[in-house]
Chain A
Amino acid sequence: MTDLLFWFTAVILVYLVGGTALAVLARRLGVRSSADYYVAGYRLGGFLAAMTYAATTYSAFMMVGLVGLTYALGVSALGFELVYLLATLTLLSTLGPRLWAMARERGWVSPSEAVVDLTGSDSLGIALALTYLAALIPYTSAQVKGIGEIFAALGPGYWVGVAVATALIMLWVVLAGVWSVAVTDAFQGLWMIGSAAAFIVWLLGFSASRGLTPAEAFAAVDSAGLGSIWPATVFIGLTTPWAFFAVTNPQVLQRVFMPRDSGALKRMVYWFGVFGLAYTLLVTFAGVMARGLTASGVLEAIKSRDAVTPTLLTLAPHPLAAVVYVSIVAAAMSTANSIVLSVASSFVRDIYERRLGGTRPILVSNTAVAALAVTAAAIAWYRPSTIVDLSVLSSTLLLPAAAPTIAGAVRPGSLGRWGLAAFLVGEAVAWGGFVAYGARANTAAPVLGLPVPLIALIASLAVTLAGLFVSRGSR
């Protein structure tokens, strides 16, 4: 056993035991109904709400993908991620209170149930549930695959990582539904931000010992020709789907229902903002420093973006490297189990309880969660290339829900069939882009220089506005 594998094994055992102990403790909070299971009975405290929102949002992409993106393509990666945060703070502060209040009044549990209520279109709920499956199970598989690759790189093997991830997704959900997910998310969120801060402190010290200052690292980014913002098509194409993430992705939309009172909702916004800004600045700064270390000859040029963080970690003390690797596992886990829970809620609540009149929602929910987790693991095991493309495009495939959802929040029930039409028109554009360009659909600009996500948004917005106009006329 290598020294790094020893430390990784020790640290991940601490993570597994600590997280499972918290999940077991969460059972005391009581889960008797689907509202308890999926939205914590609308009783989540502000700090827990903020941490589960943050840990669900920020996946393994941050510590691996965003560090690599900054290294390879410059600090526009920071702009890309902060546009998401700017838009999300606005959406949480304006639509958030309205959605939070309506969730309690109308008893919303699943995100598709909310969108059906907001738009007045039953069919949109079914279309959304199917789109969640198509877009988010591949995204979950990508998280499981990432955990498998960490285990493969460090020694235990890919299948061990996939098996551990799948077992944990099921265990930490089944123990107490969203209660166990929220407390483990808080644990994992603190691990993510703490390890990122420790990583940067070490990186600054290491770089200084090699004679590299942060100013020189930023200058190295400029010298590599990466000192300007990306071309507009690329920047707009990548940021557009993420700007509306808060209202299109079920796992975060559902989290707005959960705070126990308006004070908890406020604290959710405060702490999520602090977490998001700090975490984003830390991980992009790591990418800048890595570029500086390459320019100063400490590191060789790193060809694969996903190899930047692992390459930096080869230089770090093994205990720190193990803590950071486990933080990547935590980021992937906290995103994966929240998605599985949210997607399950759309089927259990909307179909089993409301359409079929089912009376055993907890049993059926646990079964649905297990089925979704095993499906995601099976996909991760076979690693088909289409899954990677679909996970990259997941936010674009969900983007057409933005306009009808926002319009429905402003004028509830006014869209009716126009809500479904708006969603389907946008989906036609998004899927058309996927078929034509695959993973490059986000930055391809087939019409008037507009990227595919922006076309999808404009198309669904146009139909939504037409629906609002017609409904106003008919009243």
Chain B
Amino acid sequence: MRRPLKAYLAWSAAVLALAYVVPYAFLKGALNLYLFWALLTLTHYVVTAAYVKEVGAGD
């Protein structure tokens, strides 16, 4: 498995874990939860777009 793919998969697994764990462990309040999930997804989108641009999508 190529190194960028490994790194992206590790990043994705961490993001998914955070999406589940942080709200149970640390977060209360509707606004905090809304902002947390929104920013986490936005960050993952930016990383995904960068990954796809550089190494993904059939190259």
Partners in one complex: yes
What number of A-B contacts does a CB cutoff of 8 Å give?
118
List of B residues within 8 angstroms of A263 by Cβ: 57
Bound-complex Cα distance A291 to B31 (A): 13
Interface string of A78-111 (1 = CB under 8 A from B): 1100110111011001101100110000000000
B45, A273: Cβ atoms closer than 8 Å: yes
**Contacting residues of chain A (271-302) with chain B, CB-CB under 8 angstroms:** 273-274, 277, 281, 284, 288
Nearest CB to that of B49 among chain A residues? Answer: A270
List of A residues within 8 angstroms of B20 by Cβ: 83, 235-236
Give the shortest distance, in Å, between B3 (CB) and chain A (any CB): 14
Q: Given the known inter-chain contacts A78-B38, A221-B30, please indicate yes or no for A86 contacting B52, CB distance below 8 A.
A: no
Nearest CB to that of A280 among chain B residues? Answer: B41
Q: Given the known inter-chain contacts A82-B41, A97-B57, please indicate yes or no for A222 contacting B30, CB distance below 8 A.
A: yes
B5, A78: Cβ atoms closer than 8 Å: no
List of A residues within 8 angstroms of B33 by Cβ: 74-76, 78-79, 227-229
Interface string of A132-144 (1 = CB under 8 A from B): 0000000000000
Bound-complex Cα distance A218 to B34 (A): 9
Q: Given the known inter-chain contacts A89-B44, A89-B48, A96-B57, please indicate yes or no for A82 contacting B30, CB distance below 8 A.
A: no
B38, A273: Cβ atoms closer than 8 Å: no
B30, A226: Cβ atoms closer than 8 Å: yes
A97, B56: Cβ atoms closer than 8 Å: yes
Bound-complex Cα distance A86 to B52 (A): 14
A218, B31: Cβ atoms closer than 8 Å: yes
A277, B57: Cβ atoms closer than 8 Å: no
Interface size class of B (residues with CB under 8 A): 20 to 34
Bound-complex Cα distance A352 to B58 (A): 31
Contact of B37 among A82, A97, A215 (CB under 8 A): A82
Q: Given the known inter-chain contacts A74-B30, A86-B41, A93-B51, please indicate yes or no for A262 contacting B16, CB distance below 8 A.
A: no
Q: Given the known inter-chain contacts A262-B58, A265-B58, A281-B38, please indicate yes or no for A90 contacting B48, CB distance below 8 A.
A: yes
List of A residues within 8 angstroms of B49 by Cβ: 269-270, 273
A97, B58: Cβ atoms closer than 8 Å: yes
B38, A288: Cβ atoms closer than 8 Å: no
Give the shortest distance, in Å, between B46 (CB) and chain A (any CB): 9
Interface string of B1-36 (1 = CB under 8 A from A): 000010011001001100110011001111101100
Q: Which residues of B contact A (CB under 8 A)?
A: 5, 8-9, 12, 15-16, 19-20, 23-24, 27-31, 33-34, 37-38, 40-42, 44-45, 48-49, 51-53, 56-59
Ranked 9 nearest A-B pairs via Cβ: A262-B58, A221-B30, A218-B31, A229-B23, A90-B12, A97-B58, A266-B57, A265-B57, A218-B30
Task: Give 12 pairs: A residue, B residue, CB < 8 Å, sorted on A.
Answer: A75-B34, A76-B23, A86-B12, A86-B19, A89-B44, A90-B9, A218-B30, A222-B29, A235-B20, A262-B58, A269-B48, A277-B38
